[in-house]
A and B are shown apart, each in its own frame.
Chain A
């Protein structure tokens, strides 16, 4: 079945260092949509960025990700972490247009310290 894997449960880093969160997915469909959501403490998840175009970099608020269908990956990156980036990050998959909902990964908590 369709699934999303986020290998890191917790990522701790120092402000100013680069961030990379891993996301891989499984689906039999050839044109999936991939998403990253961010959830700050005591808030609801908010869309960070999304893509359905193979090998095209998508950017928003300093974060970027590229959908690679060849490796079924959609890793999230940022060149320099800020304290405000501390949050829970979810990768999500929509296997095809018109499906019943998104399939979420288990999430990665990012903790940025001074």
Chain B
């Protein structure tokens, strides 16, 4: 069975400090990977999309960047956090089959920027 793990679970960071969030998928080769952001009580906003190692497509510009260094790993980062970066970050994967891009989400990383 496939498992998806995100780290850290939660962070409190200062404005202007760097950030790195990670995501690892086990049990699935060559998944499509995604980063989503959710403001408190808000809708799901797709941030990045990756179909393979080294290829990342940005969907929304939020002064964030993403990388896919390995087939099973997806990293979200920024060098300088803004207050507006606070929220719930979700990594998700989908398979390249006939499932219609069914997304499976990780547990999420909750970020508070102060």
Chain A interface residues toward B at CB < 8 A: 33, 35, 37, 43-47, 50, 52, 90, 92, 94, 97-102, 104-107
Q: Enumerate 21 A-B pairs (CB-CB under 8 Å) in ascending A order.
A: A33-B99, A33-B101, A33-B102, A35-B100, A44-B106, A45-B44, A45-B103, A45-B105, A46-B105, A47-B102, A47-B103, A97-B100, A98-B96, A99-B101, A100-B49, A101-B49, A101-B59, A101-B94, A102-B101, A104-B43, A105-B43
Closest to B100 in A: A33
Residue numbers in B under 8 Å from A100 (CB-CB): 49, 57, 59, 101
Residue numbers in A under 8 Å from B104 (CB-CB): 47
Closest 4 CB pairs of A and B: A33-B100, A44-B105, A94-B101, A44-B108
B5 CB to closest chain A CB, in angstroms? Answer: 12
Q: Does B66 contact A (CB under 8 A)?
A: no
Residue numbers in A under 8 Å from B108 (CB-CB): 43-44
| In contact, B100 and A52 (Cβ under 8 angstroms) | yes
Closest to B94 in A: A101
Q: Does B34 contact A (CB under 8 A)?
A: yes
Report the separation of the CA atoms of residues A38 and B43 in the bound assembly, to the nearest whole angstrom: 12
Residue numbers in B under 8 Å from A104 (CB-CB): 43-44
| In contact, B57 and A35 (Cβ under 8 angstroms) | no
| Given A33-B101, A100-B101, 16 further pairs, Cβ under 8 A | A33-B99, A35-B100, A37-B103, A43-B108, A90-B43, A90-B44, A94-B101, A97-B100, A97-B101, A98-B96, A100-B49, A101-B34, A102-B103, A104-B44, A107-B43, A107-B44
